[in-house]
Structure 1
Amino acid sequence: AELSERLLDELQATDSPARAAKLESLLWQTWYFHEDEAARQLLRDGSDLLAEGDLDEAKKRFLHAAILEPGWAEAWNRLATVNYLLGFYDESLAEIDKTLEIVPRHFGALSGRGLVMLKLERYREAVEAFEDTQEVCPTSRSATSNKAFAEALQEKSLRLGV
């Protein structure tokens, strides 16, 4: 946890996209690692299944990992991702909250919250989530473009009175 906090501090402070990319990669590796081999294997298997498009089986592996190691942020984050892809947005938000309880500056979870809010047409909250992502990772191009997209949708919904 101490290492990831130092990396997050550095990520927040850098204005170099190349350095930010390196830090992001290191953070993902740090978050992905767990001392428990069984939990690590569940996350590996779930990630492989997710890449193959087998969302239901991936969800089972991620859920098992989260139950086995409830303090492991990345297990919750992966579960949030698969539930988002399955269209279970309330579950995804709950798992994002768990991820952020453990790692408050988890930029993947912050960005994920924004994506869920877009799906729920809660555009103001989507904008806020992408701003939170930018605060942690100022060089994030996806957060910048997603925020602009959310702002455009928010503006359109306000114009239409939706």
Structure 2
Amino acid sequence: MRLFLFILLLSLAAPVSSAQQAPELGPDVDTPSLDDLHSLPENEEDETGGKVVADGADQDEKALADLFEKLAAAETPEQALSIGQKIQAKWLESGSDTVDALMSRAAVALRANKYGLALDLLDVVVTLKPDFAEGWNRRATVFYVQQDFGRSLADIERTLALEPRHWGALSGLAIIQRRIGEDDKALTTFRRALEINPGLKNAKEAVDELEKEAEGDAI
């Protein structure tokens, strides 16, 4: 019965109809990689396979808001990483054991480059839990590494509508904007991500590069 239900849910899942046609990459742009987005926290699972969960005190929105305040004020990369991991753990709490299991399986598939399986699982996630921002973010990541930027952007939009502070989704948006030649927009988006999480090394490097390029164009 459970297998039948799972197959039925897979058949009901469909791509977002508002997805744009994927822009083409230029000849000098590297192939997208999962490492570009760092979408999967390295500590998502412990050595026993158990999922990392947020501390008990971090169960409400006020506690989460406090974490974001601390993150924005982090003085060292180590502090930002520690606080960011707590927030990511909170984001992974869907409130559904079924969705949590699907997310875990999708993460394993994504790390193994089994993108078709990951998409099948995440299609079910967003169908079962459309208000779960991390489900949309993970599916956006799969579309990104497949160079399906239109659908990735559509899922990033859904992610940010549910969680505007999602620095991973903002970073993904900025990377795509940069890849398709929208450097001004990319610079603004990277800066927004850094306002939320100042510990984003890749975003800092991208901002420095884009600012230098903008200065060069202005001369």
Same fold at TM > 0.5: yes
Among 16, 41, 47, the alignment partner of 2:101 is 41
What is the match of residue 91 of structure 1?
151
1:117 deviates by: 0.9
Bigger mean CA deviation after superposition, 108-117 or 10-19: 10-19
User: RMSD of aligned C-alpha atoms?
Assistant: 1.8
1:62 is aligned, of 122, 125, 148, to 122
Structure 1 residue aligned with 2:88: 28
Structure with bigger helix share is: 1
Tell me by how many angstroms 1:153 deviates: 5.6
Aligned to 2:21: none
- The structural deviation recorded for 1:57 is 1.2
Shift of 1:16: 2.4
Q: Which runs of 5+ in 1 are unaligned?
A: none
Report the equivalent of 1:140.
200
- Which blocks of at least 5 consecutive residues in structure 2 are unaligned? 1-59
Alpha-carbon spacing, 1:42–1:57, altered in 2? closer, same or farther (3 Å): same
Would you say how many aligned residue pairs link Structure 1 and Structure 2?
158
Secondary structure at the aligned position of 1:34 is classed as coil
Query: Residues 68 and 121 of structure 1: is their aligned pair in 2 closer, same or farther, counting only changes over 3 Å?
Result: same
Q: For residue 176 of structure 2, what is the aligned residue in structure 1?
A: 116
Which segment drifts farther, 43-52 or 136-145? Answer: 136-145
Structure exhibiting the larger radius of gyration computed from Cα positions:
2
Bigger relative contact order (CA 8 A; separation at least 6): 2
TM-superposed CA distance for 1:71, in Å, is 0.6
Cα pair 1:39 1:69 within 8 Å, conserved: yes
- Are the equivalent residues in 2 in contact too, given 1:43–1:75 (CA < 8 A)? yes
How many Å apart are 1:149 and its aligned residue? 3.3
Q: Structure 1 length as normaliser, TM-score?
A: 0.89
Letter matched to residue 90 of structure 2: T
TM-score with structure 2 setting the length? 0.67
| CA distance in structure 2 between the partners assigned to 1:5 and 1:93 by the alignment | 26
Q: Could you tell me which of 140, 144, 148 is aligned with 1:80?
A: 140
